[in-house]
Structure 1
């Protein structure tokens, strides 16, 4: 399933799956009770041949299905696992799902390829021992823009939140926590521990800005930018890196006030019918060559140090994929801080959108 431009993005490529040999074997895994594994993930968030490679190596067919956002994933599994074996929740939802007893603790002895993970990602505040997830990618929100249509580098959240300079040419992401917390960063505050007064202030600022905003997008801002529908957009670095390959007039910046860093992870939900196979699949995805194939396709920053070492300098030294700007230095990991705060964020943005 491809997006309307045939591009690959974190949220919107699993359709073109071929077969290719990789340096990995599951011959020691033994016979499985079933030959099917259900993988619930973001659309277009895997290598072109990854699933076919796993089937060739193991004899196990992976059946992928897709969700649009973490809330959809959480709601579906909260209502009861419908047969999913491996999921890809973001870091804050790992915390949330752990608290709701929705994830299985991982048997790390069955995931020896965890040794390939960069030590900086091997211990996670959002997922303390016993570990319930392993890192798959990391990502940062910033501003994607068309260089020929903006004045210099738009390196402040001001141009999205608090200015009419690009009126009618702005697109923001729909997710309420992201909108509130990045607005807090623009106001000079931490994006964690955002109180109700700051939430209301950000919502008021966005209400004032709303006439200048063309669209609130479901993480397809890179498509809107590539198509020329907008000139400046709130998006993830990997999504913008993908479309930059096709249009040299596009670029990306982490605003100087700092931004939100996230990770997407691999986890096994409670009630998974094939937990042993799920561990095998996760271990496969953490293989260096397999990780290289995934990374070549999705162009997100990988926490898999062994896979990264196999990538060319054009990836490892890409300032969009691995930003090193002052804004990146001021960025923070987001934390899930409870359902009441999340609910207030949603209510504030709902009121803003309806005003």
Structure 2
């Protein structure tokens, strides 16, 4: 089965839970308090046969949790969150009972510095060998002390080819031009927006200053009348419906839309962009840490990750799993941008001084 057929079967992450239904194995919508009380079986490792997973919506294979339970006897309860801010807030007062969580790269750094994450025992994760070496020694978690990579994403411009005068290969189109007034959508995440404006200004996403934040705030307020919507990671849907013609969005989301509509395309601007990575971590105080390591190791299995990738259709950092995917996936330049394009992209680092400035300024922009 090729990439196009895969994508037609599962129209992106948001469609998966609809396909599974609320009775899906291992998924809880009522939080940990809603977990089943049956069983209490003890495993050979001395832990109860349970695992509590806190994940993004529709971000797992259709049978992954049930397959893990069949293979190990460990029942998984999965609760859902919709932003890193929600995830962080959940753990500020301590771990409420989760074993594995999926923070993005800058929040891996933020949570590890806040002593919210447990160092991983790599001897219990032999499938680490399947990860592409490029994703091991990353700046936000050197030598993967606290995290294992799950997916990665690149931000860029999704656009409708018939509605643009030329390929919109500069952030100027979104950030500093009235050319597509009323047909533009921005992300609603403050940090991403300020860092990408920084890229447009020739800065590293990790070298902004408070003065830069003030400059960018003024630029945003000037451009805001041209922006139709601040979207919640549904930019591809806005393009498909014809609500906007150019949108700031993730590569995987636009790749999905491109299969449905050949008038849609994606470009990473010539100034470069920001890379994001979602990661598997064990929060400090996890009630089942051995099961958590076993679960992370299971997800990093080549065949398991292949099935996850077939469902969520995002770039995988798992080289062994990628090798099992069809050529139409592996060679898709939207899913896997060329090396010269990626060379101008960066992972964001958590900046405790700037983060509140980003959020306060963006609140003012949205209210302007």
Structure 1 and Structure 2 fold alike (TM over 0.5): yes
Q: 1:237 matched to which residue of 2?
A: 251
Q: 1:13 matched to which residue of 2?
A: 16
Q: 2:33 matched to which residue of 1?
A: none
- Give how far 1:15 is off: 5.0
Q: 1:127 matched to which residue of 2?
A: 141
Question: Compared with structure 1, are the counterparts of its residues 156 and 326 closer, same or farther at alpha carbon in structure 2 (3 Å cutoff)?
Answer: farther
Please list the CA deviations of residues 24-63 of structure 1 after superposition, one character each: whole Å capped at 9, or x if unmatched. xxxxx83663333211111111122212211221222221
Scaled by the length of structure 2, the TM-score of the pair is 0.88
Find the partner of 1:105 among 113, 119, 130.
119
> Structure 1 CA distance, aligned partners of 2:129 and 2:349?
25
The answer to whether the 8 Å contact 1:135/1:265 transfers is yes
Q: 1:94 matched to which residue of 2?
A: 108
Within a 5 Å distance, the mapping from 1:78-93 to structure 2 comes to 78-93=92-107
Scaled by the length of structure 1, the TM-score of the pair is 0.91
> Structure 2 CA distance, aligned partners of 1:262 and 1:31?
35
1:345 aligns with 2:358: yes
- Give how far 1:127 is off: 1.2
1:316 aligns with 2:320: no
Find the partner of 1:306 among 314, 320, 324.
320
Question: Compared with structure 1, are the counterparts of its residues 130 and 296 closer, same or farther at alpha carbon in structure 2 (3 Å cutoff)?
Answer: closer
- Give how far 1:243 is off: 2.1
Q: CA RMSD of the aligned region, Å?
A: 1.9
Within a 5 Å distance, the mapping from 1:245-324 to structure 2 comes to 245-324=259-338
- Give how far 1:327 is off: 4.3
Question: Compared with structure 1, are the counterparts of its residues 32 and 252 closer, same or farther at alpha carbon in structure 2 (3 Å cutoff)?
Answer: farther
Q: 2:49 matched to which residue of 1?
A: 35
1:140 aligns with 2:131: no
Ranges in structure 1 where 5+ consecutive residues have no aligned partner: 1-5, 20-28
- Give how far 1:347 is off: 1.1
- Give how far 1:353 is off: 1.1
What secondary structure is seen at the aligned counterpart in 2 of 1:342? helix
1:186 aligns with 2:200: yes
The answer to whether the 8 Å contact 1:144/1:234 transfers is yes
